[in-house]
Amino acid sequence: MPSHPWARDFAVSKSEVEQLTNLLLEKEMPLSTEALARAVLEQRLKREAAALKERFKDTQLYNPAHSYQVGQKLLFATFGYAAGTVVKIRPGQNDDYGAFSVISVQFAPDEKPREFAAEFKVPHKLSGEHSNGGNPMLLSNVPTVDEILTGSRAEILAALEQALSGSGELVTLAGKWFPRDLLIEVNAGHLNLAEAVLDIAGGGPLTTEDILEQMGGLGKAPLELQKFTLNYSLRDDPRFDEVGSTGQVLWYLARLEPPEVLQLPANLRYTPIDFDRSLLTADMLTLETELDDELTPGIGVPEVGDSVTITLTYPHRRVGTLPLTPRIRQIMPTALKTSRVWMTLVDGQDGEETTGWVVRNEGYVFGLGPFYRKHLLPVGAYVTVKRSDDPGKIVVDFNAHRPRTEYVRLIVPKNDQITFENHKRSIGAEYDDLMILGIDDLKAVDTLFQAAQQQRKSISAILKSIMPGLARLTPQGATHAKTLYSVLNVFRRCPPGPLFATLAANPDFQNVGGHYWKLVEE
């Protein structure tokens, strides 16, 4: 539906902001941006209706079947509701139509009057359309508030938020507004009580209403005002973290949140690498999109359905996380301003529920460790994320089958060096054969990872240390780029782009067909 004319460039005046402030004072409770927008629109429509009423005062909508008097005002729908005055009436002359009148109507002082039929008894289109007693108000097409919001909701709410934010008298929280001077006083004692309530609850999460109930409330003010005031106070105290998804306010004690949520885990930390994207061939760009690394910039965001499947990489398997790729972001709970969102992860195999965290700014979901360990999922396994009927619950699943013994490439650290061996392992999940990895000695691999960070080893240096060992595992003596990507990320977090550019630019690496590479022998 097209927007209403004055909604296209919607602007809120200072007087309207004052009216909304008075409305909040009168109701003594916070109101949402949309509720305040509706109040503005209702007032504007009332003024418009009054203006229309004045405009159409003593005016009738022209109907050829009616009779009129000299001096009477008429409105003509076929001319865009132009108004004119009857200045002359004469008998009509046409035997085919019987007796009727002809009225002369003056539209503008400098225009020649125009003639129209009146008292016309023959059926006519205008006679049927305008059979409402001649009241032009019934045909003025005044929209409703809902119709205006349907056509211009985003523009109107954005303009209103900007005007309210600039007033200086109102504060906003979770999409609601209230006068700053009327907030209930919240002192240090109240905040300490709130901390104690959350501490007893294991850190949270708790709704504001639950916290108020357990701390005895904030006096006798309306509950909505108490909730708004406490939310406003907790927001400015670093002890408390708002972790609810859009439309829900939940509080958690920051000091009791998992360390992996408060700080980006080392295995996921990426130091940006400058590289020449023009070195990437069309096949490399296709593979880059297929790998769907959350650190790859500019990947399109196709609209997803109810599920997304990714290939589990070592950094996320090691930390117990999922990458927050553009596709997975569409599945996970969202928030307007909250950087960390508390949620529930549901095991798609048995329905067990565990706590998860969407760390939006850093691009990962934490809390998958128990799921990975329970099902013995290897690096390279296909993991599926699904929506559920509850927006706060996300189902995590994989394609399970009866465990079967298969050969898997293992990272086997020896004398602080990286070596690889093929070993038999029992696997009960579908996986990408080019990315699967096994690790028996995690402590030794962690030591190699830490050494790579301390020594700031380049991508090229790491590739040269891993390619000979990987090549010995294959008959052709070459390694696929996906395998190199999977292994490289054990020792240094890196998206595919810089890896592929390094392979293409460095003469020490030779492409032997497809995406297979080997280290050039000296």
Q: Domain holding 226: CATH number?
A: 1.10.10.10
Cα(238)–Cα(233) distance, integer angstroms: 10
Give the residue from 257, 292, 312 where a domain finishes: 257
Segment among 45-54, 137-146, 277-286, 420-429 with least mean pLDDT: 137-146
Residues 104 and 35 in one domain: no
Residues 38 and 159 in one domain: yes
At 353, list the tokens: 């529920």
Residues 160 and 116 in one domain: no
Residues 158 and 211 in one domain: no
Number of helices and strands in the chain (H, E)? 16, 24
In the sheet where 250-253 sits, what is the strand order? Answer: 206-207, 250-253, 240-242
C-alpha torsion sign, points 271, 272, 278, 283: positive
Domain annotation covers residue 213: yes
Cα(368)–Cα(353) distance, integer angstroms: 11
Residues 425 and 496 in one domain: yes
Give the residue from 229, 257, 285 where a domain finishes: 257
Residue 172's alpha-carbon distances to 18, 32, 143, 166, 514, in angstroms, are: 16, 9, 29, 11, 56
Average pLDDT over residues 200-204: 93
Residues 48 and 156 in one domain: yes
Domain annotation covers residue 206: yes
Domain annotation covers residue 302: no
- Residue carrying structure tokens 């629109």: 41
Please tell me the total count of domains within the chain. Answer: 4
**The CATH number of the domain where 430 resides is what?**
1.10.10
**The CATH number of the domain where 66 resides is what?**
2.30.30
**Residue 166 burial (10 A CB sphere; 0-12, 13-18, 19+):** exposed
Give the residue from 208, 232, 257 where a domain finishes: 257
Q: What angle do CA 134, 135, 138 make, to 5 degrees?
A: 125
- The predicted pLDDT at position 1 comes to 44
**Does residue 48 contact residue 5 with C-beta atoms inside 8 Å?**
no
Cα(375)–Cα(428) distance, integer angstroms: 8
Structural domain boundaries, residue 71: 59-136
- 232 membership: H or E segment, kind and range: helix 223-235
In our burial notation (b when 16+ CB lie closer than 10 A, e otherwise), range 461-474 reads: ebbebbbbbbbeee
Domain annotation covers residue 300: no
Residues 157 and 192 in one domain: no
Domain annotation covers residue 406: no
Domain annotation covers residue 48: yes
Which of helix, strand or coil describes residue 222? coil
Residues 420 and 512 in one domain: yes
Q: How confident is the model at residue 133 (pLDDT cuts 50, 70, 90)?
A: very low
Residues 449 and 489 in one domain: yes
Domain annotation covers residue 101: yes
Residues 67 and 47 in one domain: no
Residues 15 and 108 in one domain: no
What amino acid occupies position 350? D
Express each pLDDT in 147-200 by its tens digit.
777 777 888 888 888 888 877 788 887 778 888 887 888 999 999 999 999 999
Residues 27 and 162 in one domain: yes
- The predicted pLDDT at position 159 comes to 84
**Does residue 235 contact residue 254 with C-beta atoms inside 8 Å?**
no
Cα(382)–Cα(363) distance, integer angstroms: 19
Q: What percent of the chain has pLDDT over 90?
A: 48
Q: How confident is the model at residue 5 (pLDDT cuts 50, 70, 90)?
A: low
Domain annotation covers residue 353: no
